[in-house]
Amino acid sequence: HLKTTYVGFEVIRQEIRLSASAIRNFKLHPSATALNTVKILGQRQPPISTQAAGKLEGQQLEQTRGESLGKALEQLSGVTTLNTGPSISKPVIHGLHSNRVLLLNNGVRQEGQQWGTEHAPEIDASIASRLTVVKGAAGVRYGSDAIGGVVLVEPAPLRDSAGTDAAVNLVGMSNNRMGQVSGVVNHKSKRWPAWSLRVQGTLKKGGNTRTPDYYLKNTAFAEQNFSVGLGYRQENHGIELYYSQFNAQFGLLSASHISNPTDFKRALASPVPLEMAGFSYKINRPYQQLNHDLLKLSGYFRTGAAGRFTWLSSFQDNSRAEFDKHLPRNNERAALNKPELDLKLSTFYNELVWEHQPYKDIKGSIGVSGTVQRNQYSGRLYIPNFWNYTGSVFWIERFQKNKWQLEVGTRYDYRSLEPVIYEENVRTEPQITYHNFSGTLGSNYELNHHLSFHLNAGTAFRSPAANELFSNGLHSGAIEIGDRNLKPETAYNVTATITYQSE
User: Is the distance from CB of 302 to CB of 295 less than 8 angstroms?
Assistant: no
Distance CA(393)–CA(251), nearest Å, equals 42
Domain boundaries, the chain: 225-259+285-500
Residue 35: its pLDDT value, please? 62
CA distances to 47, 356, 364, 401, 495 from 303, in Å: 19, 9, 14, 25, 36
For the full predicted model, state whether its pTM sits above 0.85: yes
Q: What is the pLDDT of residue 120?
A: 93
Which of 103, 159, 154 shows the shortest CA–CA distance to 129? 154
The HSE-up count of residue 343 (CA atoms within 13 Å, CB side) is: 26
Residue 46, preceding peptide bond in cis (omega within 30° of 0): no
Non-local (6+) Cβ contacts of 300 within 8 A are 237, 238, 308, 309, 310, 311
Find out whether 205 and 221 touch, Cβ atoms under 8 Å.
Answer: yes
What pLDDT does 19 receive? 76
Q: What's residue 53's pLDDT?
A: 77
pLDDT for res 45: 47
C-alpha dist (Å) from residue 349 to 213, 297, 371: 49, 11, 5
- The pLDDT of residue 42 is 55
CA–CA distance, 259 with 419 (Å, rounded to integer): 30
pLDDT score, position 256: 86
d(CA 471, CA 15): 93
The torsion defined by the Cα of 395, 400, 403 and 409, in degrees rounded to 10, comes to -10
Residue 304 in 3-state DSSP?
helix
Listing DSSP states for 35-46 in one string gives PPP-----PPPP
Taking 50 as the pLDDT cut, the residues of the chain under it are 44-47
Going from the C-alpha of 351 to that of each of 185, 336, 360, 372, 398, the distances in angstroms are 29, 42, 27, 12, 21
Q: Does domain 225-259+285-500 have CATH number 3.40.190.10?
A: no
CA distances from 235 to 229, 300, 302 (A): 19, 10, 8
Those residues with Cβ within 8 angstroms of residue 184's Cβ, 6 or more apart along the chain or in another chain: 166, 167, 198, 199, 200, 201
Q: Identify whether the C-beta of residue 74 lies closer than 8 Å to the C-beta of residue 63.
A: no
Sequence-separated (6 or more) residues with CB below 8 Å from residue 463 = 144, 415, 417, 434, 436, 488, 489
